[in-house]
Every structure is written in C-alpha cells, then in structure tokens.
Amino acid sequence: MTQAMKVSLSQQPAAAQWGSATVSFAADGAQIHLSDGDQARQIQAAARKLTQQGINSVSLTGEWTQAQQWRFAAGFGGTMDGGNIEWANDNEALDARRDAALWLKSLIHASPEALSPEVLADEVAERLCAVAPAHITTKRIVGDALLTAGWVGIHGVGRGSVRPPVMLELDYNPTGDHDAPVAIALVGKGITFDSGGYSLKPSASMVSMKCDMGGAATVAAALKLAIRSGLNKRVKLFLCCAENLVSGHAYKLGDILHYKNGTSVEIVNTDAEGRLVLADGLIAANEAGAERIIDAATLTGAAMTAVGGDYNALFTVDDQAASDALAAAAAGDEGLWRLPLAPFHANKCPSSFADTANSTTQKGGGAGGASNAAGFLSRFAGAPAKGWIHLDLAGVYSEGGNSMHHDGATALGLMTVTNLLLQD
C-alpha cells in the first residue's frame, strides 16, 4: 500500500528556491502556500497539482477547517480513481460527504450501455434503501405503463429506445406517520444518454452525453447525504429516466404531447427533451402536495454560456426560495447564480398547434434559452409556483478537465441540495 503524503497549509510563501510555486515539498511531505485572494480556489488548484504529480494518497495535517478540507477533496483524485484522503478533523462528516460525492460521480461516469434507465432507477432505490430501510418505500413505473399512468413526457422521450423509460418514486418518511405532509419533493432529470433524437447532436457534442442524468445523480446523492446527516422530515424523490434515441418508435418533430395538468406541448426540437421529462416529475411533485419542489437538471447549454463551469444556475419565481437556495450554496461553498425568470418566460416558446412548444427552432432555444426553458417548466411547477427551485446544473460536468477538476463529474450542486433538505 502506498504511504500517504502528508499535506499541510501555510500562509507563508515557498522558500526562495521554489520560486513562486504554490506547492513545495520536503522530506516530511508537501505544503500548500496560500496567498491573498480566494484561498479556497488556491487549495483546490493545489490538490489538482498534487494529483497530476501522481500522488493518490494524502494525509491532511496541521490546521484545516472543514471547508478547506472539502475544497481539497473537490480537486483531488482522477476520473477513474478518486484517491485516498485522511482528514485532519471532522472525519465522520467529511467521510459522509465524500461517499455521496464519489457515488454521484460513479453514476455519471458509468457508460450509457451500463447505465440504462432501469439500472439507474434500481441503483438509486437500492443505495437509498440501504441507508434507511425502515423509512423508505419505492415505486417504479416502466415502459408503456407510463402512458397508462399519464406520464407522457417520460414515455414520449424514452419510447425510441429498446430499453424502456422509468419513473422512480421514492418516499422517505422518518416521521412514522403515513399521512405526514411531504416537506420537499426532489425531481431529477435522468436522461442516461442523449443523442438529441431526430434533432441529432453532432458527434463531438454527443460523446459526453452520459452526463445528462447528472440531475438525477445529484438529487439522489444529496438525499443520501441528508439522511446520513439526520434528515427528519418527509421527502419524496422523483427520477425521470429515459434514453433519447433515434428509431422508428422515437418521438418526432411536430408531435404533440398532452400532459396530465391539461397542457399540450408541440415538439419543435427533440433535443429539448429534459424539460419534457421534468414536466412529469413536477406534476407528480405537486400531486404529492410537496411544500417545496426542487428540480435539478443538465438542462441547457445557455446556462453554461451564462455562468460557466464554476456555477450552477438558479431559477425561481419566489424570492424567499431564491434566498434559501443561495444561502444553501454559500454554506456548502458552491457557486450558484440566479438568472431571470418572470411570468412572461412561460410564453417564450409559442406554438400555433398547442398551448406551447417545447423550445424554439433557433439554435440553443434562441436568446435567453435557459430562462425560456425555466419558463416552460413553470407551467408545471404549480399555480402559484411558490417554493419551487429549478437548478440548471451548468457546472456538474467538466469536459476535458481543468485546473480545478478532473475530466468528468464535479459533484457541484451536491451540497446546495443537501443543505436545502436540511434547512429548518
């Protein structure tokens, strides 16, 4: 077994022979040299440098805050091997966080062939039931049974694949009261592979589309972590799982879907499929009577253009919900930025043949594409959509990696959703 490299923090610059290096080495280990400015990012970047040096086992020594250790963990390890970290303190809490983050990443990194919609639903149900078996019940609706149940979005998007689409409903109820109110409903986009359908993506854009179930992975991992952290209120989880493929059975441009809440939707872009499956999840969350609804999805390239990979995008029509979400992100040291969402955004995807289209014919949904997508979702979030939070996960995946993250899943958003679940 490789001996762990000791890593400590220093507020002093490296010795002269190291020049302006931010990481230096001695016989007893490595030092990260912090300077004025954003020290959290400095720690994360230093963890990347240590990983790139081939170091995969570290022991954090000396004075570290919990937040500093978590930032180090965010930058440490590779795509295939997360490495080993011995914490300086707060071992139990940090172990629980890292377990959730590594599980989240493993789901996103799984190949599309390995992670079908049913496998994703089963994996989430199995892992969460193992954490609190006495308090969790699950229900799966699969394939054509979705159509019978009225979940036309998940069925429509997933019908082009030979591997059936699934809605997973998971009920975590620690209260002992079968009639306890649902405090929060989580809704996750679980597109296990997105070809774009008949609005076919180019190969370069398709190669990373195993990450399109990042919303489902994020809310599932957050619920797992929140349960381990003492979550004491009833939460329902709805995962909307499908493969968006091209076949003789696939949904087509010009099709019209008729949702359970009475909304008709014309399909003008089969690559705007995430909002179609989330619409079912939002309706289900409202049917459950949830006091707050949180949905998470790798929904739009427009959000990525707006906030980059260091933030996720926040949409809500409720200022208190926005404050709660931003506070949850800040407490978890995660980037989250509120983008515009007004009632008029619900009408930004007009259709002559239905109540709304699922997008526009312009590339990326046109100007304001992320807000327009959120506006589409607002039609299904309740009337009024009080308490609803939509997270467009711009930063959940780093294609090719960078100075902060390895190639692949970042787990950005995990702590935001976890802290929202644990808020009073």
172 shares its domain with 319:
yes
38 shares its domain with 114:
no
42 shares its domain with 74:
yes
Token pair for residue 318? 């409720």
Look at phi and psi of residue 244 and say left if phi exceeds 0, alpha if psi is from -120 to 50, else beta.
Answer: beta
204 shares its domain with 318:
yes
Token pair for residue 366? 């046109």
Query: 413: domain range?
Result: 110-422
CA separation for the pair 23, 46 (Å, rounded): 7
CA separation for the pair 423, 104 (Å, rounded): 22
Instruction: Find how far residue 63's CA is from the centre of its chain.
Output: 31
235 shares its domain with 146:
yes
CA separation for the pair 3, 252 (Å, rounded): 57
What percentage of the chain has pLDDT greater than the value 90? 96
48 shares its domain with 160:
no
24 shares its domain with 129:
no
136 shares its domain with 85:
no
Please give the backbone phi and psi of residue 125, each rounded to the nearest 5 degrees, phi first. Answer: -60, -45
Up-side HSE of residue 400: CA atoms within 13 Å toward CB? 4
At 2 the pLDDT is 60
Q: For the chain, which ranges sit under pLDDT 70? A: 1-2
38 shares its domain with 155:
no
Vertex 154: Cα angle to 149 and 155 (nearest 5): 65
Residue 105 counted as domain residue: no
280 shares its domain with 383:
yes
* Final residue in a domain of this structure, among 89, 121, 142: 89
At 363 the pLDDT is 76
CA separation for the pair 122, 190 (Å, rounded): 12
- Helix (H/G/I), strand (E/B), else coil: 44: helix
At 1 the pLDDT is 45
Residue 97 counted as domain residue: no
Up-side HSE of residue 129: CA atoms within 13 Å toward CB? 11
183 shares its domain with 309:
yes
Residue 100 counted as domain residue: no
66 shares its domain with 145:
no
Residue 101 counted as domain residue: no
CATH code for the domain of 326:
3.40.630.10
**Nearest alpha carbon to residue 336 among 392, 386, 378:** 392
**Known catalytic residues?**
201, 275
Residue 188 counted as domain residue: yes
Residue 58 counted as domain residue: yes
User: How many domains is the chain built from?
Assistant: 2
CA separation for the pair 390, 15 (Å, rounded): 48
Q: Say which amino acid occupies 88.
A: A
> Which residues make beta-bridge pairs with 295?
187, 390
Residue 103 counted as domain residue: no
Residue 396 counted as domain residue: yes
